Amino acid sequence: MISLEDRVRVLPGVGEKSAAKLQQLGLVTVEDVLCYYPFRYDDFAARSVLELEEGEKALISGIVMTPPTVQYYGFKRNKLRFSLKQGEVVIAVSFFNQPYLADRIEVGQDLAVWGKWDKAKVAVTGMKLVAQREDELQPIYHVIQGVSQTSIVKLVKAAFDKGYDHLLKENIPTSLLERYRLVERKQAVRAMHFPKDIAEYKQALRRIKFEELFYFQLRLQQLKVANKVMADGVSIAYKPLEVEEKIASLPFNLTEAQEKAVHEILRDMQSTGHMNRLLQGDVGSGKTVVAALAMYAAYTAGMQAAMMVPTEILAEQHFESLTQLFPDLSIALLTGGMRAAPRRAALAAIESGEVDMIVGTHALIQDGVHYHHLGLVVTDEQHRFGVHQRRLLREKGGNPDVLMMTATPIPRTLAITSFGDMDVSIINQLPAGRKPIVTRWVKHEQFPVVLDWLEKELLKGAQVYVISPLIEESEALDLKNAIALEEELTAHFKEKTSVALLHGQMKNDEKEAIIQAFKAGHTDILVSTTVIEVGVNVPNATVMVIMDADRFGLSQLHQLRGRVGRGEKQSYAILVANPKTDSGKDRMRIMTETTDGFVLAEEDLKMRGSGEIFGTRQSGLPEFQVANIIEDYAILEEARRIAEQIVSDSDWETQPEWQVLLPYLAKEERLD
């Protein structure tokens, strides 16, 4: 008997080692494999030769203009030639040593050739002949080091060959399938991996997107109902005078916007209602200190406050800031990488109430963590946490108030739809004395000029980030690029400049040591993959160079750029890119024109709204496997409406119509 819960090891070619690798991709069961969808397809459609690069391999289609001729030269060597017309372009096609293809080529026929493009000669060297109808779509999956494209393709094929797909159960109620004319689950899953044509793929995609967004909304709505049930939140009787004193003792004056946010938060905390507030502020606007003051207020009321962040680097950084701000308090750090003994000590101190504040990663919501009068939970860059994690954290201590910080300027409507019903505080002002970051876009050819300029800046004592390019398909390549870049810069600047490398595969202590050295000014240039993206604060760093910047979306570029301009010195961002697409060029231009996160978010929305089908993953909002919260906003809205309706009936779980939802809702959302 086969079951969807079967481990991936039942599939041919999967041993213990590869199973462990696959697990890193979230592939544990065969069902996971079936539902691991490609993020794009190659030769998705025949391409226009006008947009092909020299030497690029692509599927080129056209109408056959001249009959094929075969020229023989030497023993068994021959060349078949014909011409193909695409739009106004006449393309010379040649195939080596495949004379028999001539039978398949007729003048006037619509034909496609998979081959290598020669731009100068307007010619293609064919590798494969494809009749237009049987247009192949090759799925491309996200992979990691040690798991190849081919191995994923094989794995998926094997799962289908063994008939696992027949076990997939429908998880959307029939009434909804009919109302929205959605294809069935089995059919959709198959078509996601092996679409016959674009139309079939689009239908499948629409259904899978709906499924994703619908379940997301169902969970969100359930959470909302649960919140209402526990509506009697705690009233945190903080001591206003002590908080005011703390504010007065800060090394700087709060901006008006920060003050306003602090007061909104304090008002919520004091009221008996349950606080569920989003603190939104552009990068560098000073959200941390606002959150820290809220935590301090909880402390003055004799309650614990916890801050949960997505990475260990950030946890360490916030731990340090809080320790500096509140030297008299007992603050605990709790991360996954901790050794057993200190961890035990921290846990005991948290439980006994000896600890006033706790900062950490996902470790904060694990079993064995018991809080002592937890009054407030702050999450930083909260979009990285799923609904499920937020719920877990909440359940840890009565019903603490929740403050979520985010640097992503989420348009209000989107915020409401994707985060349920939250109040929003906005810090729309940067601290006094900040100079807008000067941003320049240069081509790769100009990199030597950038290096010369960097040299001058380094002489003036600047510290520099250089972000290495992002290769979506492979972490291993990302790393290789980062290493090469570090070597290049080390060789270029010689001993007088110290260059360090930071990447995602390093151990946490290693990462931490490197960031500390940079903070302390021992390192001049920090070459980094995008691990640096979120929240890192080194005010003395004033230059950010982003290689292949066009590979990043606007929000991510904005986040990256936000690592500089955090002090009073003039800061610079240099985008090095030779974008191939119009959207890439537009992104570079927009970045040089504005540093305002809200303007960028709007531009981002506009650009994405017009639909890059296989765009990079949207950063800053909840992430889905296939859905894109911005492009698919209409589906999301609709899904929210239905979910709300369903959940509003307190007996919904007993009704036959909704039974198919229960098993999938019960499945835990995967931790990121």
Residue 548, φ and ψ in degrees, nearest 5: 45, 50
Render 505-544 in DSSP notation, one character per residue.
TS-HHHHHHHHHHHHTT--SEEEE-GGGTTT---TTEEEE
Specify the residue, 38 or 284, whose C-beta has the smaller distance to ligand ADP: 284
List 360, 386, 469, 535, residue binding Mg ion (CB under 5 A): 535
Query: Closest separation between CB of residue 286 and ligand ADP, Å?
Result: 3
Which two structure tokens, joined as six digits, stand for 24?
């890193």
Query: Closest separation between CB of residue 430 and ligand ADP, Å?
Result: 8
530 binds, among Mg ion, ligand ADP, none (CB under 5 to 8 A by kind): none
Nearest to 201 by CA among 213, 214, 187: 187
Q: Which residues in the 399-428 window bind ligand ADP by CB under 6 A?
A: 407
Using CB under 5 A as the binding rule, whether residue 62 contacts Mg ion is answered as no
Specify the residue, 435 or 492, whose C-beta has the smaller distance to ligand ADP: 435
Query: Closest separation between CB of residue 535 and Mg ion, Å?
Result: 4
H/E stretch holding 575: strand 572-576
Q: Which stretch binds Mg ion (CB under 5 A): 273-281, 457-465, 533-541, 617-625?
A: 533-541
Alpha carbon dihedral 402, 410, 531, 548, in 10-degree steps, equals 180
Specify the residue, 300 or 559, whose C-beta has the smaller distance to ligand ADP: 559
Nearest to 422 by CA among 275, 282, 309, 288: 275
Specify the residue, 72 or 252, whose C-beta has the smaller distance to ligand ADP: 252
Q: Which stretch binds Mg ion (CB under 5 A): 39-47, 532-540, 554-562, 580-588?
A: 532-540
Query: Closest separation between CB of residue 287 and Mg ion, Å?
Result: 5
Which two structure tokens, joined as six digits, stand for 225?
């109902």
Query: Closest separation between CB of residue 251 and ligand ADP, Å?
Result: 8
286 binds, among Mg ion, ligand ADP, none (CB under 5 to 8 A by kind): ligand ADP
Residue pair 564/541 in contact by the 8 Å Cβ criterion: yes
Q: Which stretch binds Mg ion (CB under 5 A): 394-402, 464-472, 530-538, 640-648?
A: 530-538
Using CB under 6 A as the binding rule, whether residue 537 contacts ligand ADP is answered as yes
Using CB under 6 A as the binding rule, whether residue 431 contacts ligand ADP is answered as yes
Query: Closest separation between CB of residue 538 and ligand ADP, Å?
Result: 9
Residue pair 543/564 in contact by the 8 Å Cβ criterion: yes
The residue behind tokens 């960031």 is 515
Helix, strand, coil content of the chain in percent (nearest 5) = 45, 20, 35
Q: What is the SS3 assignment for 181?
A: coil
Interaction pattern, residues 250-289, with ligand ADP; x per rule: CB under 6 A: --xxxx--x----------------------x-xxxxxxx
The contacts of residue 582 (CB under 8 Å, 6+ apart) are none
Nearest to 549 by CA among 582, 583, 588: 588
The residue behind tokens 């003039």 is 570
96 binds, among ligand ADP, Mg ion, none (CB under 5 to 8 A by kind): none
Using CB under 5 A as the binding rule, whether residue 115 contacts Mg ion is answered as no
Number of residues counted as binding Mg ion (CB under 5 A): 1
Residue 3, φ and ψ in degrees, nearest 5: -140, 150
- Residues 503, 216: Cα–Cα separation, whole Å: 31
| Order of strands, sheet of 401-406, starting from the edge strand that comes earlier in the sequence | 331-334, 357-360, 304-308, 374-380, 401-406, 276-281, 423-427
Using CB under 5 A as the binding rule, whether residue 597 contacts Mg ion is answered as no
Q: Which stretch binds Mg ion (CB under 5 A): 75-83, 246-254, 518-526, 531-539?
A: 531-539
284 binds, among ligand ADP, Mg ion, none (CB under 5 to 8 A by kind): ligand ADP
The residue behind tokens 């292949």 is 548
Specify the residue, 62 or 562, whose C-beta has the smaller distance to ligand ADP: 562
Query: Closest separation between CB of residue 264 and ligand ADP, Å?
Result: 16
| Rg of the chain taking only CA atoms, in angstroms | 28
- Residues 232, 398: Cα–Cα separation, whole Å: 10
H/E stretch holding 489: helix 475-493
281 binds, among ligand ADP, Mg ion, none (CB under 5 to 8 A by kind): ligand ADP
Interaction pattern, residues 548-587, with ligand ADP; x per rule: CB under 6 A: ------------------x---------------------
Specify the residue, 209 or 561, whose C-beta has the smaller distance to ligand ADP: 561
Number of residues counted as binding ligand ADP (CB under 6 A): 18
Residue 419's CB: how many other CB atoms inside 10 A? 21
What distances in angstroms separate CA 168 from CA 317, 467, 608, one per listed residue? Answer: 45, 43, 32
431 binds, among Mg ion, ligand ADP, none (CB under 5 to 8 A by kind): ligand ADP
- Residues 3, 24: Cα–Cα separation, whole Å: 22
Residue pair 61/36 in contact by the 8 Å Cβ criterion: no
Which two structure tokens, joined as six digits, stand for 94?
């040649």
409 binds, among Mg ion, ligand ADP, none (CB under 5 to 8 A by kind): none
Please report, as ranges, the residues that interact with Mg ion according to CB under 5 A. Answer: 535
Please report, as ranges, the residues that interact with ligand ADP according to CB under 6 A. Answer: 252-255, 258, 281, 283-289, 407, 431, 537, 539, 566
